[in-house]
Amino acid sequence: MKIQVNLYGVFRSVAPSPSFSREAVEGTTVKDLMESLQLPDTVYRMALVNDIRVKEGTILKDGDEVHIFQPVGGG
Amino acid sequence: MKLREDQIERYSRQIILSEIGGKGQSKLLEASVLVIGAGGLGSPAALYLAAAGVGQLGIVDSDRVELNNLQRQIIHSTGDVGRPKVDSARDRLHSLNPDIRIIPYNLRLTSANIMEIIEDYDIIVDGSDNFPTRYLINDACVLADKPLSHGAILRFYGQVYTILPGESACYRCLFPEPPPPGAVPNCQEAGILGAVAGIIGLLQANEVLKYILGAGKLLNGRLLTFDALDASFREVKVLRDTDCPVCGDRPTITELIDYEEFCQL
C-alpha cells in the first residue's frame, strides 16, 4: 500500500524531501513508519493521519496521509 | 467613532483598502489586543499592530532586555539592555504611534492572574517562549472563550494558527500534554534565525487584524508551517478533537494548571 508522508521541523532533515510517497506493508503502524524513517525516538513527536491526531499504534491504510511534527515552543 | 484628521492621514494607506475603510479603521482603534511575550514573535507583532492603530495594546513580559535578544527582538534597542522588556516595548510603541494606549504587564502569567488580564482584551497573541505558559494561555483562552493566535518558532522553522474556542482545534487538540522536561529544546538551546521570528510574528499580527476587521479567511483549523531553508510554506488541516481534554465534548480540564511545578524547560 502507499502512504503519503509529510515531515516538519526537526524531522525535515531525515529524508531528502519534506513530502513524499512511501510503500508500506499491510498492518504498518504509525510507530513502524517512524522507525523505518529512523526518526529519533528520544524526541517527543506527534502524528496526524488524515487531519486527525493519532496514537503511534494506529494502523495505517492505503492512501493515508501522515504528518509528523515535534511540538515547538520557542518565541 | 469619528476619525480625526491626523488619524485619517496616518492610516490613509490602509483606509483606502476596501476591506478596511473608515469603518474598519474605527474597529481597529476600538479594539484591544494582548500580546504575551515581548520577544521574537511579540516584537514584530506588537510593532505592526501598533502601527495599524489597534487602540489598546497590552504587553506581558517579566524579563529584562539582554544583548543576545537583539538579533531578533526588534522592538528593543542596544540602549535598552538591562531594562524591563515591557518598558522598552512601551517606549518604542509610543514613539511609533502615540495615538494608541499601551498597557505594560511586568509579570509572569500564572493560573492566579491570567483570567483577570485576558478579560479586558478582544484577542490574545501567544508569543511566549515556554510550554508551561503556552498551555496556560491555551486553557485560559478556551475557558474564557477568547480567540488566540498561536505562533511558535525554532531554528529555521515556524508555525502559526488561530484558535477560535469551540469552533476550531485548540493547542491541546494537537498536543494534549506538555512534552516531558528536556524532550524539546528551546531557542536558547537550539537557536533561531531572527527573520523566522519576524515572519511568524507578522503572520500572527495579520491574523489579528483580519479577525478585528472580519476580513478574509483566518487560519482556524489550518496550521501554517514555514521552513526557512526551503523558503516554503505548507498548510495542514487540523480538526478539533472531540476527546480534547480542554475543548472536547467531555472536558477533563476545567480549571487552570501551573505546569511550571513539574515541567521546567
**pLDDT value at position B265?**
39
Q: From chain B, pick out residues whose CB is under 8 angstroms from the CB of A19.
A: 234
Q: Identify whether A75 is part of a domain.
A: no
Percent of chain B with pLDDT over 70: 98
- The ipTM value here is 0.87
Q: Identify whether A38 is part of a domain.
A: yes
Q: How far is A40 from chain B (nearest CA, A)?
A: 11
Q: B141 with B134: CB under 8 angstroms? A: no
Tell me the CATH number at A61. 3.10.20.30
Q: pLDDT tens digits for B219-238?
A: 999 999 999 999 999 999 99
Mean pLDDT confidence for B176-185 = 80
Q: Identify whether A27 is part of a domain.
A: yes
**pLDDT value at position B179?**
85
Burial A21-60 (b: 16+ CB within 10 A, else e): eeebeeebbbbbbbeeeebeeeebbbbbbeeebbeeebeb
Q: pLDDT tens digits for B4-58?
A: 999 999 999 999 999 999 999 999 999 999 999 999 999 999 999 999 999 999 9
Q: Identify whether A9 is part of a domain.
A: yes
d(C-alpha B104, C-alpha B89), whole Å: 8
Residue B70 confidence (pLDDT) above 80: yes
- Count of structural domains, chain A: 1
**pLDDT value at position B71?**
98
Do B129 and A75 make contact, defined as CB atoms within 8 angstroms?
yes
Q: Identify whether A54 is part of a domain.
A: yes
Residue B152 confidence (pLDDT) above 70: yes
Q: How far is B111 from chain A (nearest CA, A)?
A: 19
Is domain B31-262 in CATH 3.30.870.10, yes or no?
Answer: no
**pLDDT value at position B43?**
98
Q: From chain A, pick out residues whose CB is under 8 angstroms from the CB of B238.
A: 48, 51, 53
Residue A53's domain comprises: 2-69
What's this model's pTM, rounded to 2 decimal places? 0.94
